[in-house]
Amino acid sequence: MTAGDGRFFACSGPHSLADVTAVAGGIAPDIALLLDGVASLASASANEVSFLDNRRYIGALMASKAGAVIVHPDLVAKVPAGMVAIVTTEPYLGWAKVAALFHPEPPGEPGIHPLALVDPLAVVSVTAEIGPFAVIGARAEIGPGCRIGIGTVVGQGVRMGADCRIDAHVTLSHAVLGNRVRVYPGARIGQDGFGFAQAPTGFVSIPQLGRVILEDDVEVGANTTIDRGSASDTVIGAGSRLDNLVQIGHNVQLGRCCVIVAQVGISGSTTLGDLVQVGGQAAFSGHLRIGNRVRIGGQAGVMSDLPDRAEVVGSPAMPAKAFFRQVATLKRLAERRNDRTPGAATSAADTKSG
């Protein structure tokens, strides 16, 4: 099946091989070829372009009927006869750009929908799009080119820069957004952090007086929650990507271009450096300092500070090499124990004779 069902995705094209090659940042033979769209190796036809970025799929490449393929120089020899190779050292990046060429983001429709509720004290750019049932609070500022989805609530005083896209049913409060911020459906940003003191009669909530700062080019996944700070701000650094169902506690600070995968939980006042990568379902205790370019495996339990470029897995998290050495040692010990268990040979013989 061709990618990009026209019922859901804007389509452009056909595009010439030369144009597709230029967008992909690659090189290709100078031949006349029109390409109608993008597709997977398995489903592509002679007028479509696909890509290969993983040697595991060489078989799919060799069986493909694609007219052109975006491919690394090391794999050009595997491209079947009759298929045009668009050669680039970064095929996946090239694919991303080519897919966007054929399926561009649809333009906004500036204006405020009649069913939206916009406070008279809000400032909304004339080039912004405010969808039906959206609510824009007093003194909120919606920058040029922004798009506010169906049923989204932008609380009083929230400020966003240019070209932000806030999808359906998001709530934003106590937040300042940079430019080109993308928030996917159902995200909750700026609510109270989890802070309370204990009194003889029970718990006393601590006022959460900070904000959430989403810097330029941040993306926040569906149903992710980001608590505002208690006294300082919660900050998501420029270019960072948060997957769906991530929980960010109050006063957390992420550096630039961090990648946080689904179901990660980061407790309050933990700081991550730049370019940190965190696997799914990892958890952090509070008040930690995580260095730059740290890589944390899925389901890791991070309970102590980590230096720059650390790579950890497991719970409690430990250096990846040490973790896998321990796993290998335990496996060997278990195998030796099984070999020495009295009656093991007899049991095996009984099983065989039976």
Q: What share of the chain is helix, strand, coil (3-state, %, to 5)?
A: 20, 25, 55
Secondary structure (H, E, C), 26-68? CECCCCCCEECEECCCCCCCCCEEEEECCHHHHHHHHHCCCCE
CA distances from 48 to 82, 171, 316 (A): 13, 40, 48
Give residue 305's pLDDT: 97
Return the closest-CA partner of residue 265 out of 251, 285, 236, 288. Answer: 285
**Residue 250 among the catalytic residues:** yes
Q: What is the pTM of this model?
A: 0.88
> Do 11 and 100 contact (CB within 8 A), yes or no?
no
Q: Residue 349: pLDDT band by 50, 70, 90 thresholds?
A: very low
For residue 108 the two structure tokens come to 């906004």
Poorest-confidence range of 1-15, 101-115, 214-228?
1-15
| Average per-residue pLDDT for the chain | 93
Domain layout of the chain by residue ranges: 15-102, 108-172, 183-326
pLDDT tens figures, 8-67: 988 998 999 999 999 999 999 999 999 999 999 999 999 999 999 989 999 999 999 999
Local confidence band at 134 (pLDDT 50, 70, 90 cut-offs): very high
Nearest to 195 by CA among 283, 268, 303: 268
Peptide bond just before 14 cis, omega within 30 deg:
yes
Catalytic residue among 72, 103, 174, 250: 250
183-326 placed in CATH 2.160.10.10 = yes
Length of the chain: 354
- In this structure, whether the domain defined by 108-172 belongs to CATH 2.40.30.160 is answered with no
Distance of CA 288 to the CA centre of its chain: 23
pLDDT value at residue 4: 81
If you average pLDDT over residues 316-325, what whole number do you get?
Answer: 90
Distance CA 134, CA 151 (A): 4
Burial tier of 207 (Cβ tally within 10 Å: 0-12, 13-18, 19+): exposed
> Is 108-172 in the same CATH topology as 15-102?
no
Which burial class, exposed, middle or buried, applies to 336 when counting CB atoms under 10 A from its CB (0-12, 13-18, 19+)?
A: exposed
- CA 161/CA 180 separation, integer angstroms: 7
Half-sphere exposure of 125 (CA within 13 A, CB side): 19
Q: What is the DSSP string of 92-129?
A: HHHHHHHHHHHSPPPPP--EE-TT-EE-TT-EE-TT-E
Alpha-carbon gap, residue 103 to 100, rounded angstroms:
5
**Orientation angle between helical segments 344-353 and 320-340, nearest 10 degrees:** 70
**C-alpha distances in Å from residue 208, one per residue of 26, 212, 225, 228, 236:** 51, 11, 15, 7, 18
Residue 59 CA to residue 82 CA, distance in Å, equals 16
* Percent of the chain residues topping a pLDDT of 90: 84
- Does the structural domain 15-102 have CATH classification 3.30.1490.20? no
